[in-house]
Amino acid sequence: MTRLRDRFDARRAEGKSALVIYITEGDPSPAATADIVRAAADAGADAVELGVPFSDPSADGPVIQAAMQRALGNGGSLKSALATARAVRAAGCEVPLVLFGYYNPIFVYGTGRLAADARDAGIDALLTVDVPLGELGELAAPSARAGLGVVPLVAPTSGDDRVAQAAALDPPFVYYISMTGITGAAFSGSAGGAERVAKVREAVRAPVAVGFGIKTGDDARAVAAYADGVVVGSAVVSRIQAAGAQGAPAAVGEFVADLRRALDAPPRS
Amino acid sequence: MTMTTENAKPGQSPSTSSPGSGSISSGRFGDFGGQYVAETLMPAAEELAAAYAEAAGDPAFWAELSQRLQSYVGRPTPLSFAPTLSDELGARIYLKREDLLHTGAHKINNCLGQALLAARMGKTRIIAETGAGQHGVATATVAALLSMPCVVYMGAEDARRQALNVFRMKLLGAEVRTVAAGSQTLKDAMNEAIRDWVTNVAGTHYLLGSVAGPHPYPTMVRDFQSVIGREAREQIREAENRAPDALVACVGGGSNAAGLFSPFIGDSGVRLVGVEAAGEGLDSRHAATLSRGRPGVLHGSKSYVLCDDDGQVAEAHSISAGLDYPGVGPEHAHWRDTGRVRYVSRTDDEALAALQQLARAEGIVCALETAHAVAALPEVAGEVGPDGLVIVSISGRGDKDMETVSKALEVAS
């Protein structure tokens, strides 16, 4: 958890935004996933969200749905995600890892047991799409006991009371959903986003990362102007699919480097 | 974040026009229920819970619903004594005739209630998921009635099995979007409806068809369907001057069972039996979530779920599209764990046999979903004996299933 927060703080101290990359565990294969994580880290990702494949990903668009289907076919699972985290750490890679997914696999595994096993595997935080703030207590409590962070989601529709609930969790960062929609939808630009994120940043002491629909260096750069972090998911997953198992780590590394350059470029005048 | 309000007790309305006591819960049924949806949807779920709590306390809302159920839908439905079946099975069997409703199944009780609520909330668009197509048809019907645009999501496999209902929905002016993801059945249609809702959350009402989903759906849908049980309660008293000994209903998501059972939950002398789909058998492909599932979280609530050790949701199987669902409403999970309701299961073949038995004995061709409940009657009749009173929910008529049934019987003969 400290690892995650430290990275955001370090970027913030440089006056830069953190880059968070989403990938689906098991796509293109459980064995390749650790290599993709390391390639992303080497290319400048500040954190990696390791998406646990789920049979019914109701918050995801077609790109991540398809990746999850492929991953399940390849033996991807919550257990294999933990194995990937262990492999990443065994290889000496210290990139902060967020275990990302839907609640049922975690619930069936057991929240207490998962929190402990995730921590032991080198995971820094949990993020569950279908456990909103009002229900997050049942996951936050065992996570806190294990020393694991929980990342709350805040949406454009979330009122001030819900933002306050997110702040009360003292999270490593808050994930702000850029739009009302599913992952991979068309990026809607800043339409009120900057203002809303500024309000959320004011209300929570934690850094705020923005995700959903961010596909290019330009998108990332536009969001970085007002957010502590930028999350890119579907665009990464598309590149993994296009590159196939052999080429995926290199393709992800190249894309992450592009995003990093866009974020680090001096401000345009 | 849960809603609590006073129980709805409309003063002047007849007892069958509103759910009466215990209508609004906290959204929790013991360990089950809750609101497990994307954060984006939470304000919509809370808005709906607040709007329903407000409407449920307004006698005028129930009066309008009651009036429309009577003049448009065809309520009250008869409670028909089944003389031949009673002789054959050795108990006094009564049939609660939801098959006689407009659109042919109990689904419209809930659709009309939710559509009136959506209109009251100022929503301008309705979306729904459907399995067998009965809920989709009922939703398309009320959307037409209230002049609201309507999109129905249906698994591609279900759309093939229920082509006639797809046509009916289109005829009613609804747009039918088939879903090719996953098992191409009800659960995938629900995933897609949730994706639509999250994208168009401001003006769209998601008209969920069962006692599943996040709070307030399980409570609200149960309340709208409880008209089945409230009528049955009065009718059996009129016919037999006493309470029934047993109630039987099929359970997929569980809405007709919840509607029949809920007014009797406090009557400990009434035995309640829910019948799930055992498909090809409980050790093969089936949809018997309460019999063989485990606690889990799917489509917005904590309940029983058919899933593997990794938490991946199984592809359920039943000859009946309406029962072909790997989840179940959270209140049923609670009734299961507390023992208030006994859940049994019947196979595809047993349902087919029961469908024929009811047709020949009573001249009623019921839906394949309903046939599962009918298939459990011999067991229940044996328990209550010749003087025992049993009410079975005839939740829908069988027209939509004739192709499936004729194919299945050809194979068998």
Asked if residue A245 lies in contact with residue A29, where contact means CB atoms within 8 angstroms, the answer is: yes
pLDDT at residue number B71:
98
Predicted complex ipTM: 0.94
pLDDT tens-digit series, residues B26-85: 799 999 999 999 988 898 899 999 999 999 999 999 999 999 999 999 999 999 999 999
Asked if residue A182 lies in contact with residue B199, where contact means CB atoms within 8 angstroms, the answer is: yes
Asked if residue A247 belongs to a domain, the reply is yes
Cα B188-B189-B193 angle, rounded to 5 deg: 120
pLDDT at residue number B172:
98
Residue at A268: amino acid letter? R
Cβ of residue A133 closer than 8 Å to a chain B Cβ: yes
Give the closest-approach CA distance of A162 to chain B in angstroms. Answer: 9
What mean pLDDT is predicted for residues B304-315? Answer: 96
pLDDT band at B19 (very low <50, low <70, confident <90, very high): low
pLDDT at residue number B201:
86
Which residues 177-196 of B are in CB contact (within 8 Å) with A? Answer: 181-182, 187-188, 190-191, 194-195
- Is B181 a residue whose pLDDT tops 90? no
Instruction: Pick the range with the lowest mean pLDDT from A96-100, B57-61, B408-412.
Output: B408-412
- Is B1 a residue whose pLDDT tops 60? no
Asked if residue A141 belongs to a domain, the reply is yes
Six-digit token string for B409: 């019987």
Instruction: Pick the range with the lowest mean pLDDT from A179-183, A238-242, B35-39, B337-341.
Output: A179-183
3-state secondary structure of B374: helix
The domain tally of chain A equals: 1
The residue of B310, B313, B315 whose CB has the most chain A CBs within 10 angstroms, and thus the best one to mutate to test that interface, is B310
Bridge partners of B389, per DSSP, are B92
Cβ of residue B297 closer than 8 Å to a chain A Cβ: yes
What mean pLDDT is predicted for residues B3-7? Answer: 37
- Is A44 a residue whose pLDDT tops 50? yes
Neighbours of B242 (CB within 10 A): 9
Asked if residue A70 belongs to a domain, the reply is yes
pLDDT at residue number B13:
36
Identify all chain A residues contacting B195, using CB atoms and an 8 Å cutoff.
58-59, 61, 182
Q: How far apart are CA A104 and CA B297, in angstroms?
A: 5
pLDDT at residue number B2:
38
Segment (H or E) for A150: strand A149-150
Instruction: Pick the range with the lowest mean pLDDT from A29-33, B75-79, B246-250, B274-278.
Output: A29-33
pLDDT at residue number B413:
67
pLDDT tens-digit series, residues A147-160: 999 999 999 888 89
Picking from A108, A154, A185, the nearest residue to B296 by CB comes out as A108
Cα dihedral B100/B104/B106/B110 (nearest 10)? -120
User: Taking Cα atoms as reference points, which of B24, B136, B114 lies closest to residue B69?
Assistant: B114
Q: Which of B98, B129, B192, B362 is catalytic?
A: B129
Determine the structural domain holding residue A45 and report its residue range: 2-264
pLDDT at residue number A268:
60
- Is B272 a residue whose pLDDT tops 60? yes
Q: Provide CB contacts within 8 A for B122, sequence distance 6+.
A: none
Instruction: Pick the range with the lowest mean pLDDT from A264-268, B300-304, B384-388.
Output: A264-268
What's the whole-model pTM score? Answer: 0.94
Q: Do B202 and A180 touch (CB under 8 A)?
A: yes
pLDDT at residue number B185:
84
Identify all chain B residues contacting A158, using CB atoms and an 8 Å cutoff.
39, 42-43
**Is B170 in the active site?**
no
Q: For the sheet containing A18-24, what is the strand order?
A: A149-150, A125-128, A97-101, A47-51, A18-24, A229-232, A208-211, A174-177, A153-154
Residue of B nearest to A76 (CA): B310
Q: Which residue has the higher pLDDT, B9 or B186?
A: B186
pLDDT tens-digit series, residues B213-256: 999 999 999 999 999 999 999 999 999 999 999 999 999 999 99
Six-digit token string for A219: 């998108």
Neighbours of A126 (CB within 10 A): 26
Asked if residue A157 belongs to a domain, the reply is yes
Asked if residue A172 lies in contact with residue A124, where contact means CB atoms within 8 angstroms, the answer is: yes
- Residue located via tokens 């089945």: B228
- Is A130 a residue whose pLDDT tops 90? yes
Q: Which of B17, B18, B96, B107 is catalytic?
A: B107
pLDDT at residue number B11:
33
Pairing between β-strand B28-29 and β-strand B32-36 as defined by DSSP bridges? antiparallel
Asked if residue A269 belongs to a domain, the reply is no
pLDDT at residue number B6:
35
Picking from A153, A156, A181, the nearest residue to B199 by CB comes out as A181
| Alpha helix stretches (DSSP H) within B226-329 | 227-240, 255-261, 289-292
Q: Would you call B146 exposed, middle or buried from its count of C-beta atoms within 10 A (0-12, 13-18, 19+)?
A: middle
User: Taking Cα atoms as reference points, which of B301, B254, B299, B216 lies closest to residue B32?
Assistant: B301
pLDDT tens-digit series, residues B163-180: 889 999 999 999 999 999
Name the residues of A annotated as catalytic.
49, 60
pLDDT tens-digit series, residues A52-83: 999 999 888 889 999 999 999 999 999 999 99
Picking from B34, B38, B307, the nearest residue to A59 by CB comes out as B38
Identify all chain A residues contacting B298, using CB atoms and an 8 Å cutoff.
56, 104
Asked if residue A58 belongs to a domain, the reply is yes
Counting other chains too, the contacts that B121-124 makes at CB distance below 8 Å and 24 or more residues apart are B121/B47, B121/B48, B121/B51, B121/B205, B123/B148, B123/B203, B123/B204, B123/B205, B124/B148, B124/B149, B124/B203, B124/B204
Report the CATH number at residue A164.
3.20.20.70
Q: Do A130 and B36 touch (CB under 8 A)?
A: yes
Q: Do A132 and B300 touch (CB under 8 A)?
A: no
Six-digit token string for B9: 């007790």
Give the closest-approach CA distance of B33 to chain A in angstroms. Answer: 11
Residues of chain B with pLDDT > 70, as a percent, come to 94
pLDDT at residue number B18:
63
